[in-house]
Amino acid sequence: MIKVALFDAKAYDRPSFEHYGSLRDVEFRFLETKLNEDTVELARGCDAVCVFVNDTVNAAVIDKLYAYGVKLIALRSAGYNNVDVKAAFGKVHVVHVPAYSPYAVAEHAMALLLTSVRRIHKAYNRTRDFNFSLNGLTGFDLHGKTVGVIGTGRIGRIFIDICRGFGMNVIAYDHFPAKDSGIHYVALDELFKQSDIISLHCPLTDDTRHMIDGAAIEKMKKGVVILNTSRGGLIDAEALLEGIKARKIGAACLDVYEEEADIFFEDRSGHILNDELLSRLISMPNVIVTSHQAFLTEEALNNIADTTVNNIRSCFDNDGVCDNELCYRCGNIEQCKKERKEKCF
Ligand code: NAI
């Protein structure tokens, strides 16, 4: 039996992890607390830890895990910006779930876009109050509009297909453009200039942090709609608020927020929110916030648990070899994943 401390456990995690774990002799210890330097002690006696997007897996945490004999960090997410993969190299293997339902995220991005431009959130509240007035609910057609997609990986491409179904003109920017994909790539500045809607689907890295800042917003069309279902740190939220206040940004739909770690995923109703910026953004009539919910479908939860259990079994049964390892061996994760045939170290 492989023992795994599952940090930041939510009620929705349990059924699928218990089910898939029991099929393959992996026992999960569900811990509600997030992993960080203060809580890492709870991993003592476990073979692996299972972490989510807001756990802190920095060098200090990794050193402690290593000292406790923990062999594996299993991310139950695709993004891994919260793990210092470099610090883990040579000590603890790191695996992730590269794709569990890219459809879930891409469809959520479109759901946010439609909600925003057709004012569905406002109409829903009105009709519940028997207010059938249409004043202020005028939207715009998506058909014929230009959408700029930043990051054309698994999720970005599905989002592109969805947008094409709506008759939208799609342009894209990617650091590593996909060859022969039929995607019309443009320079980032050109994307900012031409897009009526901008949707972010690239990972958070040192290069992409605050890629949407004041200077970028300056280059955008007046009335632009910004969608972020990727990572909060891609947007400088203060600059976003300024853009909204200046009436430059037409709407913002945010499933992620840079400072979400201590806020999202919890019921904070009845509490005073200690984040002025988020409070101000939420108070704007043209901002929609969901709390990192884009992945949350039945299909995705089952795929996450199934793949995580397989990743764990693969590492322990095959001496650290796992297709979904985040390998730091050649110093470039994207490159390494493609070239690698064996384990990272
Ligand atoms: P992916 O790895 O398939 O695609 C990412 C794309 O971004 C790649 O084409 C890559 O070349 C591109 N990219 C890398 N650096 C770039 C840069 N500097 N500028 C522009 N493009 C760059 O990843 P996938 O599965 O499509 O996921 C995208 C992101 O979505 C993840 O990194 C994660 O942060 C986020 N995500 C959010 C979820 C949510 O619930 N809100 C759930 C799952 C993922």
Q: How far is the CA of 202 from the centre of ligand 1 (A)?
A: 3
Q: What is the pTM of this model?
A: 0.91
Q: How far is the CA of 144 from the centre of ligand 1 (A)?
A: 26
User: Is residue 306 over pLDDT 60?
Assistant: yes
Same domain? For 87 and 160 the reply is no
213 in a structural domain: yes
Positive or negative torsion for Cα 246, 248, 251, 253: negative
Same domain? For 220 and 116 the reply is yes
Same domain? For 160 and 242 the reply is yes
Averaged pLDDT, 101-130: 97
The values of phi and psi at residue 219, to 5°, are: -80, -10
Same domain? For 334 and 194 the reply is no
182 in a structural domain: yes
Radius of gyration of the chain (CA): 21
251 in a structural domain: yes
272 in a structural domain: yes
Same domain? For 312 and 217 the reply is no
| Token output for 63 | 């050193």
Same domain? For 272 and 258 the reply is yes
Q: How far is the CA of 311 from the centre of ligand 1 (A)?
A: 20
Averaged pLDDT, 72-97: 95
pLDDT band with cut points at 50, 70 and 90 for residue 339: low
Q: Residue 57's domain is classified under what CATH number? A: 3.40.50.720
93 in a structural domain: yes
pLDDT band with cut points at 50, 70 and 90 for residue 72: very high
Strand order in the sheet with 249-254: 169-173, 146-150, 197-200, 224-228, 249-254, 287-289
Residue of 82, 85, 202 with the most ligand 1 atoms within 8 Å of its CB, for mutation: 202
What is the extent of the structural domain holding 317?
2-100+297-339
344 in a structural domain: no
Measuring from atom 4 of ligand 1, which residue has the nearest CA? 153
> Known catalytic residues?
231, 260, 292
The minimum-distance atom of ligand 1 relative to the CA of 293 is 40
Same domain? For 253 and 191 the reply is yes
User: Is residue 106 over pLDDT 90?
Assistant: yes
User: Is residue 239 over pLDDT 60?
Assistant: yes
Question: Cα(161)–Cα(159) distance, rounded to whole angstroms?
Answer: 5
Q: How far is the CA of 297 from the centre of ligand 1 (A)?
A: 19
Span 174-212, pLDDT tens digits: 999 999 899 999 999 999 999 999 999 999 999 999 999
Same domain? For 182 and 163 the reply is yes
User: Is residue 338 over pLDDT 90?
Assistant: no
Whether 54 lines ligand 1, by a CB cut-off of 6 Å, is no
| Token output for 185 | 């790539």
345 in a structural domain: no
Q: How many domains does the chain contain in total? A: 2
Whether 174 lines ligand 1, by a CB cut-off of 6 Å, is yes
Whether 152 lines ligand 1, by a CB cut-off of 6 Å, is yes
Same domain? For 265 and 326 the reply is no
Q: What does pLDDT average to over the chain?
A: 95
Residue of 174, 254, 264, 335 with the most ligand 1 atoms within 8 Å of its CB, for mutation: 174
Question: Cα(281)–Cα(125) distance, rounded to whole angstroms?
Answer: 19
Question: Cα(188)–Cα(211) distance, rounded to whole angstroms?
Answer: 10
Whether 250 lines ligand 1, by a CB cut-off of 6 Å, is no
pLDDT band with cut points at 50, 70 and 90 for residue 115: very high
Q: How far is the CA of 229 from the centre of ligand 1 (A)?
A: 10
pLDDT band with cut points at 50, 70 and 90 for residue 337: low
230's CB contacts (< 8 A; 6+ apart) are 79, 151, 155, 200, 201, 202, 203, 204, 256
Same domain? For 49 and 180 the reply is no
Whether 294 lines ligand 1, by a CB cut-off of 6 Å, is yes
Same domain? For 88 and 116 the reply is no
Same domain? For 108 and 121 the reply is yes
